[in-house]
Amino acid sequence: MDVLIVDGYNIIGAWPELKALRDKDLASARYELVEKMAEYQAYAGYEVVVVFDAHYVPGIEKKVDNHKIEIVYTKENETADERIEKLAKERKHVRNQVYVATSDYTEQRTIFAQGALRKSARELYIETKNIEKEIQKEVESQNQLHYKPKIPIKKEVLDVFEKWRRGEK
C-alpha cells in the first residue's frame, strides 16, 4: 500500500481555504485538513499520516488515529521535518511507495535522498479537488438511479411505501 505523509502546517499554510481558516482558528484548520485527508485516503486508497509540529501544540509527543488516518504531533523539541524523515524511512518498503506532501524545498530534497517521492501542496490540493468532483459526480449519478420493482406497482402505491420507509405519515 502506498503511503502519503503530509506536512500538516505546511499544507494548511498553502491551501487558500485552510490558510484563511487558520488565521481565525488553528484547531479548525487542522480538523478540516484531517477531514480532507480522510476523504483522500478513502478514495485513493493510500495510507495517510498527517504530521504537526509540537510548537503549535505544546506537550508530549502524541499519535491519534482518526478516520483511519494517523495524526502525529511531534515531541516538543522535534520538528515536523525530522519526524517526516523518520516516517519516510520507516515506511519505505519494496511493496509500497512513500509520498511526502510538502512545499518545503529542503524537505523535498531530503526525502528524495531516502527514496520517497514528493507531492507539492499545490499538487495535493488539485488532487483533493478532483476527488471531491468525482465523489460529487458519483453521488449525483446514484441519486438519478430509480429503483424499478420487478412486480408492477402503481406510482401512488410506491409513494405510500416510500413514505412508510422514511417514517413519514
Query: Could you read off the pLDDT of 48-91 as tens digits, one per residue?
Result: 999 998 765 555 556 666 668 899 988 878 888 888 888 888 88
Torsions phi, psi of 129, nearest 5?
A: -65, -40
Range of the domain at 26: 3-140
Q: What distance in Å separates the CA atoms of residue 61 and residue 73, rounded to the nearest whole number?
A: 6
Average confidence (pLDDT) over 112-139: 90
Dist. CA 47–CA 19, nearest whole Å: 25
Residue 37 to residue 107: CA distance in whole angstroms = 20
| Domain presence at residue 103 | yes
Is residue 83 assigned to a domain? yes
Beta-carbon neighbour count of residue 142 at 10 Å?
Answer: 8
The pLDDT of residue 75: 84
Instruction: Establish if 168 belongs to a structural domain.
Output: no
Q: Is the pTM of this model over 0.85?
A: no
* Overall domain count for the chain: 1
Helix axes 16-24, 26-44, angle to 10 degrees: 150
CATH assignment at residue 17: 3.40.50
- Residue 20 is predicted with a pLDDT of 93
